Amino acid sequence: MRKPVIAGNWKLFKKSSEAVDLVMGLAPLVKATAGVEIIVAPVFTVLTTVKQALAGSNIMLAAQDCFWEEEGAFTGEISPGMLADAGCSHVIIGHSERRQYFGETDATVNRKIKAALTAELSVLFCIGETLAERESEKTFEILRTQVTDGLAGLTKEQLGNIIVAYEPVWAIGTGKTATDEQAQEAHTFIRRLVAELFDHPTADAIRILYGGSVKPENIKGLMAQTDIDGALVGGASLKADSFAALVNFGK
Ligand code: PGA
């Protein structure tokens, strides 16, 4: 049995007081929820503040990106060890917005994943095709490259600390969710690919989250799919009640 994960990617939102208000509102609403891993990913500057606000809760902390070097003359970067030091247990790597606007490639994603694992962070590894790629029937080819290159050189033991997030770019922030069937089809493909690249037990154990306009209205249908193990949520994670409704999808 794979434990579901519901992760909130706050993107470039929430200054410290807003961030604290959000987790203070959220924590009591999900306190009694067992059997779901709950993660929030604020901006770097509020990580330590949010960590303090999360004390005693069942909510874990993630960063939205990291660099691959641990320290050095790399102005403006943050290393995985520094994120762990700030209280993060997880880091998002390869989000499509980083690929689209900040030059992230499968090769840099791979370096970042390795560095994050070395710092004992778990990784939310994001992949997904654009609309043009889907329309030209390149979805599976793109996913194959992203998974193969992103996870290159990792051991199957290391895969235990990877959570994949399948996020079709055309569904992010657009209100256009993939249908349950489209999402399930992609997730099955990814799981089979992990079996091919690693082995069957690794593929059976890895959590694959769906992301892209996940809301309280569509979470149940997505979670009912056999290969969907949770959600990476942007917009609906910015309010305590909607994010709690997602965490409590099973209730
Ligand atoms: P969205 O974002 O839920 O606002 O579509 C998802 C994501 O980018 O992780």
pLDDT tens digits for range 50-83: 999 999 999 999 999 999 999 999 999 999 999 9
Selecting among 37, 97, 129, 167, the annotated active-site residue is 167
7: nearest Cα among 56, 62, 50, 52: 62
- Beta-carbon contacts of 190 under 8 Å, excluding residues fewer than 6 positions away, are 127, 143, 147, 164, 166, 208, 227
- pLDDT computed for residue 185 by the predictor: 97
Query: 95 an active-site residue?
Result: yes
- pLDDT computed for residue 251 by the predictor: 84
Buried b (16+ CB within 10 A) or exposed e, 75-106: eeebbbbbbbebbbebbbbbbbbbbeeeebeb
Find out whether the beta carbon of 172 lies less than 6 Å from any atom of ligand 1. Answer: yes
Query: 167 an active-site residue?
Result: yes
Find out whether the beta carbon of 237 lies less than 6 Å from any atom of ligand 1. Answer: no
Burial group, residue 6, by CB count within 10 angstroms (0-12, 13-18, 19+): buried
- pLDDT computed for residue 99 by the predictor: 97
Instruction: Compute, in angstroms, the gap from residue 234 CA to the centroid of ligand 1.
Output: 4
- The number of residues in the chain equals 251
Sheet strands (E) in the chain:
5-9, 37-41, 59-63, 90-93, 122-127, 162-166, 207-211, 230-233
- pLDDT computed for residue 160 by the predictor: 98
- pLDDT computed for residue 114 by the predictor: 98
- pLDDT computed for residue 219 by the predictor: 97
**Measured from the CA of 92, which atom of ligand 1 is nearest?**
9
pLDDT averages per 10-residue partition of the chain, 251 residues: 97 98 98 96 98 98 98 98 98 98 98 98 98 96 98 98 97 90 97 98 98 96 97 98 97 84
Selecting among 37, 95, 104, 129, the annotated active-site residue is 95
**Measured from the CA of 9, which atom of ligand 1 is nearest?**
9
Average pLDDT, the chain: 97
The residue whose CA has the least distance to atom 3 of ligand 1 is: 234
- pLDDT computed for residue 68 by the predictor: 98
Whether 37 contacts 3, CB under 8 Å? yes
- pLDDT computed for residue 1 by the predictor: 85
The residue type at 125: F
Question: pTM score, two decimals?
Answer: 0.98
- pLDDT computed for residue 235 by the predictor: 97
